[in-house]
Amino acid sequence: MAGQKAAGMKWAALNLGTDPCVQRNPAVWDLRRSQYKAAGIPVGPWMHCHSMADVEFLISVGESWPEAQFIGCNIEDVVDDKLSLQAVGGYLLDFWVNKYEKPVHMPTLPWVQNGQGWQYVDFCYLALEMFPEVDPRYLQGWQRCVDHAFEEGAKKVTLLFSTQSPRSVYPNVAHCLYTADNVNVWPEWKDSVPQPIPKPEGPDVSPLPPNAKKEFRDQLRRYCLVAQKYDKNWHYTQQRPYTGLGDPASDTHYNDCSSYVAIAYWKAGRNSGHALSDPLGYHYTGWGNTGSAYATLKAHKAPKDKYRVGDVALYLEPGGPGDHMTVCIKAGTGDTSVWSSFGTEAGPDERQLHYRSDLTGVYRHSALL
Q: What is the pLDDT of residue 2?
A: 43
* Residue 34 pLDDT greater than 90, yes or no: no
Lowest mean pLDDT among 8-12, 294-298, 336-340: 8-12
Confidence grade of residue 176 (pLDDT, cut at 50, 70, 90): low
The predicted-structure confidence for 337-352, as pLDDT tens digits, reads as follows 999 999 999 999 999 9
Higher pLDDT, 302 or 202: 302
* Residue 1 pLDDT greater than 60, yes or no: no
Confidence grade of residue 199 (pLDDT, cut at 50, 70, 90): very low
Measured between alpha carbons, how far is 347 from 255 in angstroms, rounded to an integer?
A: 10
Q: What is the pLDDT of residue 194?
A: 40
Higher pLDDT, 294 or 168: 294
Confidence grade of residue 189 (pLDDT, cut at 50, 70, 90): very low
* Residue 231 pLDDT greater than 90, yes or no: yes
* Residue 335 pLDDT greater than 90, yes or no: yes
**Mean pLDDT calculated for residue range 1-8:** 42
The predicted-structure confidence for 64-87, as pLDDT tens digits, reads as follows 999 898 999 999 999 999 999 999
Q: Which of 77, 181, 202, 59 is nearest to 129 (CA)?
A: 77
Q: What is the pLDDT of residue 91?
A: 94
Query: What is the percent of the chain with per-residue pLDDT over 70, rounded to a whole number?
Result: 82
* Residue 268 pLDDT greater than 50, yes or no: yes
Confidence grade of residue 13 (pLDDT, cut at 50, 70, 90): confident
Q: What is the pLDDT of residue 174?
A: 62
Cβ atoms of 24 and 17 within 8 Å: the answer is yes
* Residue 178 pLDDT greater than 60, yes or no: no
Q: What is the pLDDT of residue 202?
A: 41
Confidence grade of residue 200 (pLDDT, cut at 50, 70, 90): very low
| DSSP secondary structure of 66-86 | TT---EEEE---HHHHT--HH
* Residue 215 pLDDT greater than 60, yes or no: yes
Could you tell me which residues come within 8 angstroms of residue 163 by beta carbon, excluding any fewer than 6 positions away?
A: 175, 176, 177, 178, 181
**Mean pLDDT calculated for residue range 309-328:** 94
The CATH homologous superfamily to which domain 210-368 belongs is endopeptidase domain like (from Nostoc punctiforme) (3.90.1720.10)
Measured between alpha carbons, how far is 10 from 185 in angstroms, rounded to an integer?
A: 14
Confidence grade of residue 25 (pLDDT, cut at 50, 70, 90): confident
CA dihedral over 178, 180, 184, 187, signed as positive or negative: negative
Measured between alpha carbons, how far is 46 from 15 in angstroms, rounded to an integer?
A: 5
Measured between alpha carbons, how far is 154 from 193 in angstroms, rounded to an integer?
A: 27
Q: What is the pLDDT of residue 114?
A: 93
* Residue 168 pLDDT greater than 60, yes or no: no
Q: What is the domain partition of the chain in residue ranges? A: 2-189, 210-368
Cβ atoms of 26 and 61 within 8 Å: the answer is no
Q: Which of 44, 101, 54 is nearest to 75 (CA)?
A: 54
**Mean pLDDT calculated for residue range 48-52:** 94
Lowest mean pLDDT among 117-121, 129-133, 141-145: 129-133
Confidence grade of residue 205 (pLDDT, cut at 50, 70, 90): low
- One-letter amino acid at 190 equals K
Q: C-alpha distances in angstroms, 150 versus 4, 74, 121, 125, 201?
A: 23, 18, 12, 12, 9
What fold, for 2-189? TIM Barrel (3.20.20)
Q: How many CB atoms lie within 10 A of CB 193?
A: 10
